[in-house]
Amino acid sequence: MTILTARNFCRLHRAVQSCTIKSPICDDVGAPMSLCFIEPQNAIRVIANSVGREARRQLLGEVVRAWVDEIPDTELDSHYAKAVADLDEHDLSMLAAWHASLEVGHPIANKEFLVNVFSSLGENRREALKIAAGFRGEEAFDAGVAEEQSLEMVLPFLSDARCRELAQECVELYCWDRLGSEN
């Protein structure tokens, strides 16, 4: 029979030479110890798997909006065309109604019209893409596309800073979900 002592719990590694930790259970005080940090992208994935359906839907929406924010201006047109191409009639009508609020002419709930008028939206182009991509994401969510698959498609394109910001939002969403939302 092995008796576990404080020394059995302290594993020393050379992986983190610059980090010294004083541990009350380790005789080698100040010896380098390995530490485990979770990357923001992995934190987002873990939280997505830990929350209820409504919170997961909101989390995926935040991820999509973050992705749109990271797209270079030169690529917005092509991403918008792809997002609009997959929309159903209801979503096209909703997107056209949003266009109408900008007074860019009399919008038609037609893919070709919406794609052609996109360049005239100016500063609102990114917002239009967020709406179209959000509709597309909602349809995928409703169709049962795995959240992991959606995250795998989008997270690698986010900058480290944006992932950290998004991970913080996800923690807040996790707390909201666990502390009393009706899910």
pLDDT on residue 144 = 56
Q: What is the pLDDT of residue 11?
A: 38
How do the pLDDT tens digits run along the chain, 183 residues long?
A: 444 444 433 433 333 333 444 445 555 555 554 445 678 898 898 888 888 888 888 888 898 899 999 999 999 999 999 999 988 899 999 998 888 888 766 778 889 989 998 998 889 999 999 999 888 766 665 655 666 777 888 888 899 999 999 999 998 998 888 887 554
* pTM of the predicted protein model: 0.69
In angstroms, the Cα distances linking 176 to 28, 49, 52, 183 are 42, 15, 11, 11
pLDDT of residue 125: 94
The whole-number pLDDT of residue 139 equals: 63
For residue 51, the one-letter residue type is: V
On the 0-12 / 13-18 / 19+ scale of CB atoms within 10 A, 117 is middle
Write down the H helix ranges in 74-124: 76-85, 89-101, 111-117
135 neighbors 96 (Cβ within 8 angstroms): no
What integer pLDDT is reported at residue 152 of this predicted model?
84
